[in-house]
Amino acid sequence: MRFLAVALVMYIGAAQAAPDEFAFGDAKQGQKLYAEKCAACHVSQFGGDGSSVFTRPDHRIHTPASLLAQVQGCNRRARTGLSAEDEQSVAAWLNERYYKFK
C-alpha cells in the first residue's frame, strides 16, 4: 500500500511539472532521443546545430499541443519509430530547453 501511495505522489508531481500534453514524457530521455533520432535531420535542414528552427522569431509553435503535434508529425514523416511516450519525452525536452510552456 505504501508503494502505491509513493507512486501516486510521484505521478502527480511529474504531471504538475510539465504541460498535460507531455505528462508521460521524460525530458532527460527526450534529450537522448532527440540526439539519436532527430538532430541529424535538423542539422541537414536548418544548418548549424539544428536548433535555429526552435529559436527563430517566426517559429510556428505557440502552445504545448502544437509542440507535441509537430514532434508527432516529424516522427511520422521521418519514420523514426518513436512511441507515443517517446514523442512526449522529446516534446518535454524541447519545451524545457526552448519553449518554456507551463
Whether the predicted model's global pTM rises above the 0.85 cut: no
Q: How far is the C-alpha of 67 from the C-alpha of 77, rounded, in Å? A: 15
Grade residue 59 by pLDDT with cuts at 50, 70 and 90. confident
Displacement of CA 88 from its chain's centroid (Å): 5
Q: Which three cell numbers stand for residue 11?
A: 505521478
- Check if the beta carbon of residue 87 is closer than 8 Å to that of residue 44: no
Query: What pLDDT was estimated at residue 1?
Result: 56
Q: How far is the C-alpha of 24 from the C-alpha of 83, rounded, in Å? A: 12
Q: How far is the C-alpha of 60 from the C-alpha of 44, rounded, in Å? A: 19
Mean of the pLDDT values across residues 23-32?
96
Instruction: For the chain, list the domains and their CATH numbers.
Output: 2-99 (1.10.760)
Mean of the pLDDT values across residues 51-75?
94
As a whole number, the mean pLDDT across the chain is 86
Residue type, 81: G
